[in-house]
């Protein structure tokens, strides 16, 4: 182990800013299970410990089996049945006991190796039947492991002050729970610039560097860390000199931000008086006040799926109604765009086995390509009971404010029509019960997959508004995973194809006289903002934290300059050259 000398690592800059703190390894169940040799005389005790964990797991499942026999659905009953059978399998009983006796190691590590071995064998078989078996094995093994090591996992909500989280990968459901006053930075091996976890880290202002080889941290004696999320640098055990330098940079950032914030109540308008409305993207309904303080014109994108991700179960219609109603009221007449659940892709939760909601995901099987799978509106149309509960809650809340409904991942006009038909049906049902619903609730489509961008003229005719989601549009147009650090070089919001598509969408929305808003992360990029304004975008939605910077940038440009900049940009045909043009022309 290398003693406390300074080591500089380079990775992918994901969330700007300087974080200084102490390392905390954050592991998931599958990682880092210690291997401990046990004395021969304790082997029997170890086997007993395993038998107890197996017995407790069996009792859990029997309880769940009983409940699901009454409440259904039948898929759950059969899944639990097969898990119970699996626990009787010699692999789980005699083979495990033999291995503990022969290898004399702690049960967790033997069990973990055995499960990994099974997963490896089954994973090479593409058949869905075998993929489902892998899922079952993982479920069962997590249950047993949770009885073997119930207290060893640190909760992400209970970290000490100034923690720098080191982990293989951040998932959105955990990142959203992080308390920004306790966590100074994130360092991961996996993760891309617009992964959902990255978006949350930026919205919370937590510096983040990805694509770092985690093995390095195991070879050195760790004392403190600096995360430079602007440059993509991680410094292990910084010297006094380095520490002073970064503390000064951090102070500078804070002062700048305070200055920008002091002007955030001003309008977002160009030097020559063209108004650009700035809305906020929101994941946590409790943050409505923050976005109002930062000068938002309303909520341009409420990522409602976070209600599910942070609770790990679908909220009931009544719970949703109360939340939407409270948000609408707090906005005092400003618009609230609720995007119906964008579940799937990287926004999936590892639910505990037998969990009430796991049957939705079990029914989809193990998707080999989740970003192209049953995500967002596809997921909701597949499970109409979830869609109807959410829409009913939104319709009921519409009586308390200016609510809009946004459909994620529309790839065909039929999806807009189907959702509208459900809204119309529910409206009639609610009216029959004398429940008040707003007269008009605009329904919009996210333009975030190539087919919807290409067919935007047809969508603009039937939708009430369009919302361009560049985070996904870039991923799907360029076939570059937004969450993968190895495709970050290919993932460009400044790709010529993206600018052309944005121009097309703006033109179609204009011809149909429908509003268009842009809510991807590039709306907060000072170099891209003037280009987007020049392309005709007049409404942006960004994380509340970024609003002061976005307004400040808009207030530096004249509309004619922005149009000329955009015209020039549209002439470029190669991504790198276009990127260079934009960065040179906007450096002011």
Q: What is the CA radius of gyration of the chain?
A: 26
Q: Which does 133 bind (CB under 5 to 8 A by kind): ligand PEP, Mg ion, none?
A: none
List contacts with Mg ion (CB under 5 A): 448, 469, 472
Tokens describing residue 242: 């380095």
Q: Which does 60 bind (CB under 5 to 8 A by kind): ligand PEP, Mg ion, none?
A: none
Identify which of residues 136 and 472 has a Cβ nearer to ligand PEP in the complex: 472
Identify which of residues 106 and 452 has a Cβ nearer to ligand PEP in the complex: 452
* 49-76 burial: b if 16+ Cβ within 10 Å, else e: bbeebbebbbebbeebbeebeeeeeeeb
Contact between 46 and 106 (Cβ < 8 Å): yes
Binding segment toward ligand PEP, per CB under 6 A, in 118-126, 185-193, 243-251, 464-472: 464-472
Closest contact distance (angstroms) between CB of 309 and Mg ion is 14
Closest contact distance (angstroms) between CB of 467 and ligand PEP is 8
Q: Quick check: 173 binds ligand PEP (CB under 6 A)?
A: no
Closest contact distance (angstroms) between CB of 105 and Mg ion is 45
Site for ligand PEP in 354-393 (CB under 6 A): none
- If phi > 0 it is left, if psi is from -120 to 50 it is alpha, else beta; for residue 239 that is beta
CA distances from 375 to 102, 340, 370 (A): 46, 12, 7
Number of residues binding to ligand PEP, judged by CB under 6 A: 11
Closest contact distance (angstroms) between CB of 299 and ligand PEP is 13
User: How far does Cα 220 stand from its chain's mean position?
Assistant: 32
Q: At a CB cut-off of 8 Å and minimum separation 6, what does 277 contact?
A: 268, 297, 538, 539, 540
Identify which of residues 359 and 404 has a Cβ nearer to Mg ion in the complex: 404
Identify which of residues 110 and 518 has a Cβ nearer to ligand PEP in the complex: 518
Q: Quick check: 534 binds ligand PEP (CB under 6 A)?
A: no
Closest contact distance (angstroms) between CB of 469 and ligand PEP is 3
Binding segment toward ligand PEP, per CB under 6 A, in 239-247, 324-332, 384-392, 469-477: 469-477
Contact between 285 and 319 (Cβ < 8 Å): no
For residue 546, give the DSSP letter: G
Contact between 447 and 469 (Cβ < 8 Å): yes
Q: Which does 561 bind (CB under 5 to 8 A by kind): Mg ion, ligand PEP, none?
A: none
Q: Quick check: 539 binds ligand PEP (CB under 6 A)?
A: no
Edge-first strand listing for the sheet containing 183-188: 7-10, 233-236, 225-228, 18-25, 163-167, 183-188, 208-210, 12-15
Q: Quick check: 19 binds ligand PEP (CB under 6 A)?
A: no
Among residues 505, 519, 565, 578, which is the contact residue for ligand PEP, using CB under 6 A? 519
Angle 205-211-215 from CA coordinates, rounded to 5°: 115
Q: Which residue number is nearest to ligand PEP in terms of Cβ?
A: 469
Q: Quick check: 175 binds ligand PEP (CB under 6 A)?
A: no
Q: Quick check: 452 binds ligand PEP (CB under 6 A)?
A: no
Binding segment toward ligand PEP, per CB under 6 A, in 31-39, 130-138, 163-171, 465-473: 465-473
CA distance 22 to 286: 29
Tokens describing residue 251: 């102070």
Identify which of residues 303 and 325 has a Cβ nearer to ligand PEP in the complex: 303
Residue whose entry in the numeric block shows the structure tokens 């005092």: 332
Sign for the pseudo-dihedral over CA of 77, 82, 83, 87: positive
Q: Quick check: 184 binds ligand PEP (CB under 6 A)?
A: no
Identify which of residues 354 and 469 has a Cβ nearer to ligand PEP in the complex: 469
Closest contact distance (angstroms) between CB of 448 and ligand PEP is 5
Q: Quick check: 472 binds ligand PEP (CB under 6 A)?
A: yes
Q: Quick check: 520 binds ligand PEP (CB under 6 A)?
A: yes
Q: Give the DSSP H/E element, type plus range, for residue 122.
A: helix 107-123
Closest contact distance (angstroms) between CB of 219 and ligand PEP is 36
Annotated catalytic residue 196: yes
CA distance 137 to 132: 9
Identify which of residues 46 and 472 has a Cβ nearer to Mg ion in the complex: 472
Q: Which residue out of 112, 196, 359, 404 is catalytically annotated?
A: 196
Binding segment toward ligand PEP, per CB under 6 A, in 100-108, 162-170, 463-471, 487-495: 463-471
Closest contact distance (angstroms) between CB of 188 and Mg ion is 21
Q: Which residue out of 445, 456, 519, 522 is catalytically annotated?
A: 519
Residue whose entry in the numeric block shows the structure tokens 């040179």: 584
Among residues 107, 294, 320, 470, which is the contact residue for ligand PEP, using CB under 6 A? 470
Site for ligand PEP in 300-319 (CB under 6 A): 301, 303
Sign for the pseudo-dihedral over CA of 508, 510, 513, 514: positive
Tokens describing residue 270: 């160009």
Identify which of residues 295 and 469 has a Cβ nearer to Mg ion in the complex: 469
Strand-pair category, 18-25 with 225-228: antiparallel
CA distance 362 to 358: 6
CA distance 59 to 108: 20
Q: Give the DSSP H/E element, type plus range, for residue 414.
A: helix 413-432
CA distance 519 to 466: 10
Q: Give the DSSP H/E element, type plus range, for residue 43.
A: helix 43-71
Tokens describing residue 257: 């931000």
CA distance 525 to 530: 9
Closest contact distance (angstroms) between CB of 488 and ligand PEP is 16
Among residues 448, 525, 539, 561, which is the contact residue for ligand PEP, using CB under 6 A? 448
Contact between 253 and 18 (Cβ < 8 Å): yes
Among residues 469, 483, 534, 548, which is the contact residue for ligand PEP, using CB under 6 A? 469
Q: Quick check: 346 binds ligand PEP (CB under 6 A)?
A: no
Closest contact distance (angstroms) between CB of 346 and ligand PEP is 9
Identify which of residues 198 and 419 has a Cβ nearer to ligand PEP in the complex: 198
Q: Which does 380 bind (CB under 5 to 8 A by kind): Mg ion, ligand PEP, none?
A: none
Q: Quick check: 342 binds ligand PEP (CB under 6 A)?
A: yes
Q: Give the DSSP H/E element, type plus range, for residue 403.
A: strand 402-407
Active site residues: 196, 519
Which residues of this chain interact with ligand PEP, rule CB under 6 A? 199, 301, 303, 342, 448, 469-472, 519-520
């Amino acid at each position: 182990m290398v003693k406390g000398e300074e080591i500089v690592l380079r990775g992918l800059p994901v969330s700007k800013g300087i974080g200084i703190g102490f390392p905390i390894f954050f592991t998931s169940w599958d990682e880092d299970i210690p291997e401990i040799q046990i004395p021969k005389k304790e082997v029997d005790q170890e086997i007993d410990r395993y038998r107890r964990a197996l017995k407790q797991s069996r009792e859990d499942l029997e309880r769940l089996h009983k409940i699901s026999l009454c409440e259904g659905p039948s898929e759950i009953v059969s899944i639990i049945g097969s898990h119970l059978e699996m626990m009787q399998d010699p692999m789980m009983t005699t083979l495990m006991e033999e291995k503990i006796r022969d290898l004399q190691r702690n049960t967790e590590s033997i069990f973990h190796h055995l499960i990994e071995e099974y997963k490896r064998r089954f994973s090479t078989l593409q058949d869905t039947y075998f993929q489902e078996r892998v899922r079952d094995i993982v479920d069962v093994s997590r249950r047993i492991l949770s009885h073997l090591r119930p207290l060893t996992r640190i909760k992400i909500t209970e970290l000490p002050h100034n923690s720098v989280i080191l982990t293989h990968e951040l998932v959105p459901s955990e990142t959203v729970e992080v308390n920004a006053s306790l966590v100074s930075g994130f360092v991961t091996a996996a993760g891309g610039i617009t992964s959902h976890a990255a978006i949350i880290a930026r919205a919370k202002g937590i510096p983040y560097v990805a694509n770092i080889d985690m093995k390095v941290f195991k070879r050195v004696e760790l004392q403190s860390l600096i995360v430079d999320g602007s440059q993509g640098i991680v410094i292990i055990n910084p010297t006094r000199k380095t520490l002073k330098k970064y503390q000064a940079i951090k102070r500078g950032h804070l002062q700048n931000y305070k200055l920008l914030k002091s002007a955030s109540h001003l309008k977002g308008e160009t030097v020559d008086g063209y108004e650009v409305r700035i809305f906020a993207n929101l994941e946590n309904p409790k943050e409505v006040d923050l976005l109002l303080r930062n000068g938002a014109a309303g909520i341009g994108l409420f990522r409602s799926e976070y209600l599910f991700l942070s609770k790990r179960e679908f909220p009931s219609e009544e719970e949703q109604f109360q939340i939407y109603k409270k948000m609408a009221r707090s906005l005092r007449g400003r618009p609230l765009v609720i995007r119906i659940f964008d579940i799937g892709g990287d926004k999936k939760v590892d639910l505990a086995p037998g969990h009430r909601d796991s049957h939705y995901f079990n029914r989809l099987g193990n998707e080999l390509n989740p970003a192209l799978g049953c995500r967002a509106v596809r997921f909701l149309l597949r499970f109409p009971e979830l869609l109807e509960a959410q829409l009913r809650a939104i319709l009921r809340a519409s009586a308390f404010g200016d609510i809009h409904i946004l459909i994620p991942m529309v790839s065909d006009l039929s999806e807009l029509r189907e959702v509208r038909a459900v809204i119309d049906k529910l409206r009639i049902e609610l009216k029959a019960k004398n429940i008040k619903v707003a007269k008009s609730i605009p329904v919009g489509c996210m333009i975030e997959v190539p087919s919807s961008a290409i067919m935007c003229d047809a969508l603009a005719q039937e939708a009430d508004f369009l919302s361009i989601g560049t985070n996904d549009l870039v991923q799907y147009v360029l076939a570059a995973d937004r969450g993968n650090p190895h495709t970050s070089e290919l993932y460009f919001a400044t790709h010529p194809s993206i600018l052309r598509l944005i121009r097309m969408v703006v033109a179609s929305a204009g011809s149909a006289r429908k509003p268009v808003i842009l809510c991807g992360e590039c709306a907060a990029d000072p170099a891209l903002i003037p280009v987007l304004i020049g392309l005709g975008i007049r409404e942006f939605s960004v994380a509340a934290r970024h609003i002061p910077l976005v307004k400040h940038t808009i207030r530096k440009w004249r509309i004619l300059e922005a149009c000329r900049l955009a015209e020039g940009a549209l002439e470029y045909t190669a991504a790198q050259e276009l990127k260079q043009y934009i960065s040179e022309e906007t450096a002011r």
